[in-house]
Amino acid sequence: MSHTVRLIICLTIAGMYLPAQAQKSDLIKIIDTSLQKAVVNYTYLSTQLSPDRFPSNIDPATKNIKTTGSEPWVGGFYPGSLLYLYEATNDTLLYSEAIRKLKVLEKEKTNTTSHDLGFMMNCSFGNAYRLKPDEWYKQVMITSARSLASRFSEKVGCIRSWDSKPDQFMVIIDNMMNLELLFAATRFTGDSSFYKIAITHANTTIANHFRPDYSSYHLVIYDPKTGKVQKKQTVQGAADESSWARGQAWGLYGFTMTYRETKDKKYLDQATHIAEYMLKHLPAGNVFYWDFNAPATAPAYHDASSTAIACSALIELANYVKRKDRHKYRTTAIAMLRALSSPEYFATPKEYNGFVLKHAVGNLPHNSEIDVPLIYADYYYIEALMRYRNMLAE
């Protein structure tokens, strides 16, 4: 091979490589800048809270913070976000604030009235254990898993979500997210009963929550005596047969996580089917509308929360699929991160009292939390930033 040919080949390769490197550098800059800005926001948010309260959302009229005690499902997202930001920056003030809130949250470990202990305790204590393994975090998670497992019905094959009439056993798609706590409990204890509950719930969800196109119902109501399906609904969507965006994102994330924990290909297949369905409904601006099938007469709100959840899930899912899909999922996740990191969606520190993302939708049919920041939108956005940052560092 002549010197000239070698030079041409080298220049060609360099021409292909440099744009990719430039894109990677640009993305790293966006991620690092967004994380630093989130630290500023959350440092300010921490000054707006009393010691025993957790941020939830914003009053759209006054822009004042709405807070909760430790008992609602959103309690774990604030300390979880703080822990991710500490991981990104080593800011010890954020870590100290997270630990203070964990001490308030701890009492929920024995709460058997909530199906959301995975959200509450895994997103908080789970992240704390991941960063600094400690027996306290571990025992809280094990106790929390036992409380969650108490809501499981062998007859139905699911963990009960909403408590209701004795002749109704309600299960929502959101509950896929709580299985991660059960998988962790099996790793901690060696007790496979937690694992078996998790996969049974996942299998029942595949069987009954999804339509042929892999869109999902929000709620399935079972007969607790027979385990048979009584009714299927989409409570927080535009209609029972519509596709509520956050419900789709819960399913995508939940089955991706279940594949990670089990390595059972049927969960990977389910996750990829859901991903393909969702990507078909991603608008040009790369932020989902609140419902994929909302009628033209309905308000066209974008939803940062479903987008952040799906973005984080796609970043993980890309690790498990073939190259073609890997590229597609990562490219989509990058587009979502860029959109959410733009001024259109990323709030200034005092704009919403320290919340990070704007334009999320909680429950539009019930006129609740519409076009406001939501604490879980922040959590999954920050998680997505960290997941992509860690992937680029590999």
Q: List, in order, residues 6 or more apart from 217 with CB less than 8 Å away.
A: 173, 209, 210, 211, 232, 233, 234, 240, 247
Q: Is 15 part of any domain?
A: no
Active site residues: 116, 174
Does a structural domain hold residue 11?
Answer: no
Number of domain units in the chain = 1
Q: What residue type is assigned to position 314 of the chain?
A: L
- Residue range of the domain that includes 124: 24-393
Q: How high is the pLDDT of residue 22?
A: 74
Residue 103 gets the label, from left (phi > 0), alpha (psi -120 to 50) or beta, of alpha
Residue 90 placed within a domain: yes
Percent of the chain with pLDDT over 70: 95
Return the pLDDT at 2.
57
Note the pLDDT of residue 10.
45
Alpha helices in the chain (DSSP H): 3-46, 77-89, 92-105, 117, 127-131, 135-149, 179-189, 192-208, 245-262, 265-279, 304-317, 323-340, 375-393
CATH assignment of the domain containing 268: 1.50.10.10
Residue 3 lies in a domain: no
Query: Is position 4 within any domain?
Result: no
Q: What is the mean pLDDT of the chain?
A: 94
The model's pLDDT over 35-90, given as tens digits with 9 standing for 90+, comes to 999 999 999 999 999 999 999 999 988 889 999 999 999 999 999 999 999 999 99
Question: Is 376 a member of any domain?
Answer: yes
Q: Sorting pLDDT into bands at 50, 70 and 90, what band is 7?
A: very low
Summarize pLDDT for 345-368 with one digit per residue, the tens.
999 999 999 999 999 999 999 999
Domain annotation covers residue 346: yes
